[in-house]
Amino acid sequence: MVSIATVKRTFYVLGVRRGRARLISLCAAVMTLCGAARDLHAQADSSQPEKKKETIVVTGVYEPVPLAEVDRPITLIDVRANELLSKSLADFLRLDPSVDVAERGANGTEADISMRGGTFEQTLVLLDGLRMNDLQTGHHDVDLPVPLDAVSRIEVLHGSGSTLYGSDAVGGVINFITEPPRVSELRLRAGFGNFGVNQQSATWSLVAGRFAEQLSFARDFSTGFMPDRDYRSLDFSSLTDFSTALGATQIILASTDRPFGANQFYGDYDSWERLRTWFAAVNQHLGKSTEASFAFRRRTDLFVLLRDNPEYFENRHALESYQAALRRRQELKENVRLFYGAEGYSDGIHSTNLGDHTRGRVAAYAALDVRALGRFSFNLGAREEVYRSVRGQFSPSLSASYWLDPHWKLRGSASHAFRVPSLTDLYYHDPANLGSPNLRPERAWNTEAGVDWNGLGGWQGGLTLFERRERDVIDYARPSAADPWQATNIDRLRFHGVETSLRAPAFRRQQIELSYTALRGYHEPTPGIDSRYAFEYAVNSGTLSWQTSLPRGIYARSRVGLLERYGNRTYGVWDVYLARSLGRVHPFVQLTNLTNTAYEEIQGVAMPGRAVVAGAEVGVFSRRK
């Protein structure tokens, strides 16, 4: 495995220096490497074998590429083809054992997402490449403003991604992706289950030439599996796609309203919370080489510590976020490309607890990408992000892969990542939690090496070894249970681990997938001091999933997940989903926690026992263009 010292020396030789001039130095180095890249390309055999239809990914790369050609470990989860085989987006994420889903509420009401031992604040969440992490707190990052039916697939980048995406991409990046509808149709769905679950959704799609529109609505209601754990979610989205002589255009309009009982969420209190979000975004292609995007999000958060006595303590937060980006692609030679661009962000909050704050930042990046499909690839990139209130952060990265033959590929990467403290880290205060205005940004180096195998007959496998070294990790600590949690910086943390996966076709259109992630952390907790988040990572996590297509259009998926957290016992959860795809009426049954396991994904927050949701989706009409 490549050492941190070697990586640092490599970037030093390329002329990387501290300060804002570092990005200019890297660009010069990139141009110097172009001549060598052309020589490498000239040596590559330009003749390529005929390719089958390939899966294209957009996360962790600067332009869409086949999944088999990426240099980093990426998991792709098909949501649209399996949307009746899940209750929520959090259920799909559990198919990847490197993604630690720590839910507080059922059906994705509130969930913390962490990867590779990072805290929940160290995972970046995107919607079509647009940032969903906000200025207030990472607790609400998975609170997407679009319904489940609007998401086509999920792409998960394992490891740091700050060179591409900036702050928060320390442990990994999760990108929820929408796509234009393929047919004009109207679909209605309803489901009912125990704990008072009552669900309805509707999706209307129109496809007319180069224009496509999809409207989605979803309502999810539950009286709760225990007192003060009820929830009511309303989601609406409009996805518009069209093409003109200027280029392709995508417009997203969405809103969500989610009140829920928060018993035990933030301590031993019968709390209540309501989140409301409004989101608008536009992405415009300007010819073949330029892309521009703009997004606006407003979120309000009403939190009541004691539901039966709201006057005792309550918080009201209102956040507004703007983001804009301009990206360019320049082809220097066939299969040799230079990517560069600039991004700007502005966040503001008005809060009864945190006060009034704004944070603005700009970023510039450049990357050289060289690839000969089926033979080798190489990417060198860097990003400089400058804040008004925080020292600028420089994030270089280097990745490469090499095909030994058509079935085996070696890959490796080294990259730097960072996270700027949230306003909750800095200023929050209540009887149980205290922020600290003197916190420093988190910094980390990530190195990894792996091998991918694509065998005959659909067999696939992968192995990745990784290490992450962190400085100034933000955590909450306290001397005793009688004291409040205090935000603080941990000087050094080190994690190393292994990720493995094997996908095997089985008899009669069945597929079995076994995935396992093991992680070890190195840091001795301070004697007499309790840590809240940094030492709650998953030491061992494994997933065995089985999916099949049965006669009469019936398809099914079973998932068994085993998880062991640091210092806690191992527990397992077994879920089974059944649905029928033929005809206009598609019945489904969702069976979760079949073994009725008593477990906590977040310490002190009980999770539901055995649950059943059953219903049907009706295709009112469907017309292909």
Q: Name the β-bridge partners of 216.
A: 203, 237
Residue 31: per-residue pLDDT? 38
DSSP labels, 230-258: -EEEEEEEEEEEEE-SS-EEEEEEEEEEE
Structure tokens at 79: 């949501």
Q: Are 468 and 495 in contact (CB under 8 A)?
A: yes
Q: Are 199 and 219 in contact (CB under 8 A)?
A: yes
Label residue 526 by pLDDT band (50, 70, 90). low
Residue 201: per-residue pLDDT? 96
Mean of pLDDT over the chain: 87
CA atoms within 13 A on the CB side of 245: 0
Kindly report, residue by residue over 557-613, the tens digit of the pLDDT: 999 999 999 888 899 999 999 999 888 999 999 999 999 999 988 888 899 999 999
Kindly report, residue by residue over 221-263, the tens digit of the pLDDT: 999 999 999 999 999 999 999 999 999 999 999 999 999 999 9
Q: Which of 417, 440, 534 has the alpha carbon at shortest distance from 118?
A: 534
pTM for the model stands at 0.90
Q: How far apart are CA 400 and CA 367, in angstroms?
A: 13
**35-44, 255-264, 508-517, 597-606: lowest mean pLDDT where?**
35-44
Pairing of strands 510-522, 172-177: unpaired
Q: How far apart are CA 187 and CA 4, in angstroms?
A: 52
Is the pLDDT score of 316 beyond 90?
A: yes
**Percent residues over pLDDT 90 in the chain:** 68
Is the pLDDT score of 299 beyond 70?
A: yes
Is the pLDDT score of 57 beyond 60?
A: yes
Q: How far apart are CA 540 and CA 97, in angstroms?
A: 9
Is the pLDDT score of 19 beyond 70?
A: no
Task: Write down all domains in the chain, each with its CATH number in brackets.
Answer: 4-623 (2.40.170.20)
Is the pLDDT score of 44 beyond 70?
A: no
Is the pLDDT score of 478 beyond 90?
A: no
**191-195, 201-205, 462-466, 490-494: lowest mean pLDDT where?**
490-494
Residue 625: per-residue pLDDT? 55
Kindly report, residue by residue over 350-376, the tens digit of the pLDDT: 999 999 999 999 999 999 999 998 899
Residue 23: per-residue pLDDT? 36
Q: Which of 106, 242, 102, 88 has the alpha carbon at shortest distance from 176?
A: 88
**What is the number of H-type helices and E-type strands within the chain?**
5, 34
- In 3-state terms the chain splits into helix, strand, coil percentages (rounded to 5) of 10, 55, 30
Structure tokens at 426: 């800095």
Q: How far apart are CA 257 and CA 322, in angstroms?
A: 20
Q: How far apart are CA 476 and CA 530, in angstroms?
A: 8
**Percent residues over pLDDT 70 in the chain:** 90
Residue 528: per-residue pLDDT? 55
Is the pLDDT score of 34 beyond 90?
A: no
